[in-house]
Chains A and B, each alone.
Chain A
Amino acid sequence: MKKIIVLASALLSSLAVSTSFAAGKSASFNREYGMAGCGLGSVVIGKRGAQIFAATTNGTFSNQLFGITFGTLNCVDGPTNEVAMNMDKFIVTNRAALSADVAKGDGETLNALTQVMGCNVQSHEMGRVLKANYNQIFVNDAQTNIVTDSIISVIMNDSQVASQCHLG
C-alpha cells in the first residue's frame, strides 16, 4: 500500500495541471471513469421506484459479481491514482456526512476518509487542516473528483499532515 502511495505521489506531481491554490501544490488526476450512476443515489432512488438496487441488477447477476461489486455499483474502475480513486468512491456516497465532519473539524466519516487516504494521523488532525480550507474544498456544485483533488491539494500543502500521508 505504502509503495502505491509513494508511486502515486510521484505520478501526482507530474499530473498536476490546474492550480486553484495560488502558491501551493495542487492535485488533479485524470479519470477515465465516470461517477454517474455511482453512490447512494443509485441505491435509494431505485428503492423509491420499481427496482431495488437497480445498479446491481443491470444485466444478469453473473457468477463472481458478488465479489467485485464492492463499493463501486455503477462506478467504472479506470486507471488513475489509486488513492484518488478510492477517495472518489468514498466521497460520492459520504459527501453530506463528510462535509459536516469537516465543518465541525472531526467525526466518524472524517476518520474513515483518513483511513481511505492511508494517512497515519488522528482524524482531528486531518480535520484541523481541512476545516481551515472548507470553502475551497466543498464548493457548492463541485464534482466528486474536484472535491477529492482539492482535499489532496490541501493536505499536500500542510507539511505536518502531508508527511504522514506520503502524498508528496
Chain B
Amino acid sequence: MTKMKCAILVFFSSILFFSPLVEAQVSAWSPSLDEAVKKSRELNLAEQRQWILLGHYKKSLLGLWKSDIADKNFFTSPEGRTTPQAELESLLAAIYAPTNESDINQDLRCRFPARLYWIKKQLNLQGPSEDQDPVLQRCAMYKRYRAVIDIHSLSFVFSSYYANSPGSAFGHTFFRLNKKPGPNGQRSELLDHGVGYAAQVTVSNPALYAIFGLAGFFEGVFTNLPYYYKVREYNDFESRDLWSYDLNLTPEEVDMVARHLWEIGNSYFDYYFFTQNCAYLMLTVIDAAAPRYHTMERVPYYVIPSDSIKALNEEPGLVTNVTFRPSIRSVFIQRYNKLDPGNQQIFRSYMQDLNLQTITAPEEERRIALLDTALDYLDVVYPENMIDTQSPGAKIKNGILMARASIPKTSEAFSPTLPEKERPDLGHNSARAAIGGGSNYLTHQAMQFEFRFALHDLLDSHQGYPEFSQLEFFNFAGQHDLETHYSRLDRFDFFRVAALNPWSIFLKKASWRIHIGAIRFLQGACETDCLAPGLGFGYGYSAFLDGSQRFLGYAMLDGQAYADVHFLGRPYKVAAGPTLGLLIKLGDPFKWSLEGGYLAQAVKQQKDAYHFSTELRYHMARQWNLGARYTHEFDSDESFLMLYRFF
C-alpha cells in the first residue's frame, strides 16, 4: 500500500506544478488543449507502442489500423477504432472537458483512466494528481472497483486441460489480482479477485458452437469474481489443477493493469477460439500495462492457452514464482497415498460401501486420517455436493463431517507437493511438423509429411500434459512415392480425441476415443484407394497391467462410418470390431505403442480385415522427437522413420 502510493506521489511531485485553487469552469490542466494536441502530433504519440497496445490496435496486411475491441463504447471518437490518432485527440480533449454532471460514472475520466493517465504522462500535462483530481475522486464505481480488488500484484493462472467440455479442452487462463496483505500481514488467496475473459456462448449445439467459435460470432467479455469462485469451479467442481505464475511488475505497472482492465472490462471483443481468445487477451493486457515486456511476440498467430504460459516463461524476468493448487482429485490421491497400509486397506473397503461404520480404527490419529481422506473422496465422486446441500452425496458426506467434528483434535495442514513433471509451461509446443522416410503400402520408397496444428498424442512426452489423453486438431498426413512420383494426402483429422482412463479404485471410468476427418482407404475397401470423410468412435476400458504402471493395456469396441463413391458395393463404409492396445513407458525418453484389431464390414463387397500398428517414440529434446512406426492393413505394410519437431 505505502509502497505503491509513494511511487505515484514521487512521480507526480517531480513533474507537477500544484495549483491548490482550481476553479470549476476553467480546466485545471496546462498547457492548453490546442498546444497539447500539437505536441501529441509532433511526438507522434498515437504510433507509440503503449498507445497501440492500450487501444488493442492491430495493423492489417494493408497497413491500416483496427482495434480488436468491437465495442464502439470503448472509443470516444467515431473513427477511434481505426484511427489511433483520432482516438488520442478525442480522449485528450476529455481532460479539458467539463464534468459530466448528469452521470459522473459516465464521465470519460471515470471510464478511461488508463489511456488518460498515459496521455497526461506522455505530454507532461500539468494538473492535479490522481489522488487530488476533483473528477477522479468522484468516480464512485471506479473507486469502488479499485477498493474491492485492492490490487498489489498480478498472477497469471492456467487451469489444466478438461476433456469433458469442448471449450476447455485446451485449458483456460485468467488473472489473479492479488490483494495487499492486511494490517497484520494476513492474506487469503481465496479472497483475491480472478479476472477472466471468455466467450459468451449463445448456442448449445456442439457443431454450431465450433462454427461460431471459429468464425468469431461469440462476444468475448470479462468477468471479475472473487478467486474462490475459480477455486471452487476449477479445483473442486471440475477437478482441474490450477497453476499460478506470479508476474514481476512494478507498482506503477500493476496500477496500469487495474486501470486497463477497468477500461476493457466493460467492453466486448469478437471472440475467436484460436486467435482472439482468453490467452491472447491476457497477454495483451500484460504488454499494454508493462510495454517493456513483449509477450505477444512470443506466441504464434494461433494462440492456445498453454502457449501463453510458455510465452511468459520465455520472457526474461517476467515470472518470479510458480505455484500449484491441486484439484480435489489430486489432493485425494496424495492424501490416500499418505495413509499407512492398514488404513489404505480400510479405506478401500470404505470406497466399496461408503458406510461410515467401515471407518473403524482404534487410534484417534488414524481415524482422523481416514475421515479427512473420505471428505476429499466424496467431493471427487459427488461434485454436485458443492452446489446442492440436499443431494444424496451430501447426506453421505454429512455423516463423515459430523463424525470428524466429534473428534476435538484439529487436522494438520495438508501441503501438496508441486509435481514438476506436470508443469504445463515446460511442455512441448503446440504445433508439430514431421518428416520421414520409409516404405509405403506398395513397398515403394516414400517420404511421409505431417503437420499438426495442435496439440498432443499418446506418444508425445507427457511433460505438462495429461499422460493418457490425446487431443489433436487439424492434423494432416501426406505421402510422396519416390518411385511413382505420386503425392497424396493420406489423412486429415479435423479432430482426434482419446481419453484412456486407467481403471483403478480411484477412477472407475471408461476409456473412449473419437475421430472426425478423412482417411485414405486401400484396395480392400475401395476400387483403387480413396480418401473418404467420416468419423470413428471407440469405447472400452484400460488398466495398468503391472504394479509399476509401465504397461497400460486397453480394449475397445471401435465403430466407423465413411462415405465415398468409390467404396466397393456401396458409396459408404460402416464397420465395427474389437481393438486391443498397449502403451508402454520404456523409461523416461521412450514410449511405445502397439495396437491390433479386427473390423467387420457392413457392406459385404468390402473385406473384413485385421489391422495392426506400432510406433516407438524417442523424446530427444523438448521440441524434437524421433519415431519408428509400422502399420499393417489389408495385406499391405508400411514402415517409416519419422522426425518430429514442435514449434
Task: Spell out A's residues near B (CB within 8 Å).
Answer: 39-41, 43-45, 47, 49-53, 56-57, 61-71, 73, 90, 93-97, 99-100, 102-109, 111-112, 115-116, 120, 124, 127-128, 131-132, 134-135, 138, 140-141
A40-B233, A103-B375 known; A67 vs B142 contact (CB < 8 Å): yes
Interface membership of B632, Cβ < 8 A: no
Q: How would residues 366 to 401 of chain B score, 1 for a CB under 8 Å from any chain A CB and 0 otherwise?
A: 000000100100010000011111100001011011
Residue from A50, A112, A128, A140 within 8 A of B410 (CB atoms)? A128
How far apart are B593's CB and chain A's nearest CB, in angstroms?
A: 34
Max chain A Cβ within 10 angstroms of own Cβ: one of B106, B223, B224, B408: B223
Residue from B141, B148, B228, B408 within 8 A of A94 (CB atoms)? B228
Which of B46-54, B117-125, B261-269, B583-591 binds A? B261-269
How far apart are A115's CB and chain B's nearest CB, in angstroms?
A: 5
Q: How would residues 286 to 326 of chain B score, 1 for a CB under 8 Å from any chain A CB and 0 otherwise?
A: 00000000000000000000000000000000000000000
Which of B82-90, B186-194, B418-426, B597-605 binds A? B186-194
Interface membership of B137, Cβ < 8 A: no
Among B220-241, those with CB < 8 Å from A are: 221-226, 228-229, 232-233, 236-238
A51-B202, A52-B200 known; A138 vs B401 contact (CB < 8 Å): yes
Interface membership of B508, Cβ < 8 A: no
* Chain A residue nearest in CB terms to B179: A115
Pairwise interchain contact B405-A135, C-beta atoms closer than 8 A:
yes
Interface membership of B485, Cβ < 8 A: no
Pairwise interchain contact A131-B389, C-beta atoms closer than 8 A:
no
Pairwise interchain contact A106-B410, C-beta atoms closer than 8 A:
yes
A44-B237, A53-B198 known; A135 vs B402 contact (CB < 8 Å): yes
Q: Collect the chain A residues with CB atoms within 8 Å of residue B111's CB.
A: 63-64
Pairwise interchain contact B228-A112, C-beta atoms closer than 8 A:
yes
CA distance A140 to B201 in the complex (A): 35
A-B pairs with beta carbons under 8 A, tally:
169
Q: Collect the chain B residues with CB atoms within 8 Å of residue A61's CB.
A: 200, 221, 266, 268
Interface membership of B145, Cβ < 8 A: yes
Q: Collect the chain A residues with CB atoms within 8 Å of residue B105's CB.
A: 64
Q: Besides the contacts A53-B200, A106-B413, what 11 more A-B pairs have beta carbons closer than 8 Å?
A: A40-B229, A40-B233, A51-B200, A61-B266, A66-B224, A71-B229, A93-B228, A99-B401, A109-B190, A112-B190, A124-B410
Interface membership of B409, Cβ < 8 A: yes
* Chain B residue nearest in CB terms to A135: B402
24 A–B pairs (Cβ distance < 8 Å), ordered by A? A40-B387, A41-B388, A50-B202, A50-B203, A50-B204, A63-B73, A63-B266, A64-B266, A66-B222, A66-B262, A67-B224, A67-B266, A68-B141, A73-B225, A96-B385, A99-B401, A100-B375, A100-B401, A103-B404, A104-B411, A105-B411, A108-B188, A108-B190, A112-B188
Q: Collect the chain A residues with CB atoms within 8 Å of residue B385's CB.
A: 96
Pairwise interchain contact A134-B190, C-beta atoms closer than 8 A:
no
List 8 A-B pairs, minimum CB-CB distance, nearest first.
A67-B145, A66-B265, A105-B410, A134-B405, A50-B204, A104-B411, A41-B387, A112-B188
Q: Collect the chain A residues with CB atoms within 8 Å of residue B165's CB.
A: 47
A44-B237, A52-B198 known; A69 vs B405 contact (CB < 8 Å): no
Pairwise interchain contact B201-A70, C-beta atoms closer than 8 A:
no
Q: Collect the chain B residues with CB atoms within 8 Å of residue A70's CB.
A: 145, 148-149, 193, 224-226
A40-B387, A61-B221, A97-B232 known; A140 vs B188 contact (CB < 8 Å): no
CA distance A20 to B203 in the complex (A): 48
Pairwise interchain contact B389-A95, C-beta atoms closer than 8 A:
yes
Residue from A52, A69, A107 within 8 A of B224 (CB atoms)? A69
Among B398-446, those with CB < 8 Å from A are: 398, 400-402, 404-406, 408-411, 413
Pairwise interchain contact B404-A67, C-beta atoms closer than 8 A:
no
Interface membership of B144, Cβ < 8 A: yes
Interface membership of B532, Cβ < 8 A: no
Interface membership of B342, Cβ < 8 A: no
Among B242-290, those with CB < 8 Å from A are: 261-262, 265-266, 268
Pairwise interchain contact A43-B233, C-beta atoms closer than 8 A:
yes
Q: Collect the chain B residues with CB atoms within 8 Å of residue A127's CB.
A: 410
A63-B106, A64-B105, A93-B229 known; A69 vs B223 contact (CB < 8 Å): yes
How far apart are B512's CB and chain A's nearest CB, in angstroms?
A: 19
Residue from B204, B375, B387 within 8 A of A39 (CB atoms)? B387
CA distance A134 to B410 in the complex (A): 13
Interface membership of B182, Cβ < 8 A: yes
Pairwise interchain contact A103-B405, C-beta atoms closer than 8 A:
yes
CA distance A66 to B141 in the complex (A): 10
Among B163-217, those with CB < 8 Å from A are: 165, 167, 182, 184, 186, 188-191, 193, 198-204
Q: How would residues 87 to 122 of chain B score, 1 for a CB under 8 Å from any chain A CB and 0 otherwise?
A: 000000000000000000110000100000000000
Pairwise interchain contact B225-A71, C-beta atoms closer than 8 A:
yes
CA distance A61 to B105 in the complex (A): 16
Pairwise interchain contact B410-A67, C-beta atoms closer than 8 A:
no
Q: Collect the chain A residues with CB atoms within 8 Å of residue B386's CB.
A: 40, 95-97
Q: Collect the chain A residues with CB atoms within 8 Å of residue B402's CB.
A: 103, 134-135
CA distance A57 to B200 in the complex (A): 8
How far apart are B307's CB and chain A's nearest CB, in angstroms?
A: 22
Max chain A Cβ within 10 angstroms of own Cβ: one of B188, B236, B268, B405: B405
A47-B165, A67-B265, A104-B404 known; A115 vs B387 contact (CB < 8 Å): no
How far apart are A2's CB and chain B's nearest CB, in angstroms?
A: 10
* Chain B residue nearest in CB terms to A119: B186
Pairwise interchain contact B405-A50, C-beta atoms closer than 8 A:
no
Q: Collect the chain B residues with CB atoms within 8 Å of residue A51's CB.
A: 200-202
How far apart are B471's CB and chain A's nearest CB, in angstroms?
A: 19
* Chain B residue nearest in CB terms to A47: B165
How far apart are A135's CB and chain B's nearest CB, in angstroms?
A: 6
Q: Collect the chain B residues with CB atoms within 8 Å of residue A39's CB.
A: 387
Q: Collect the chain A residues with CB atoms within 8 Å of residue B191's CB.
A: 112, 115-116
Q: Collect the chain B residues with CB atoms within 8 Å of residue A47's CB.
A: 165, 233
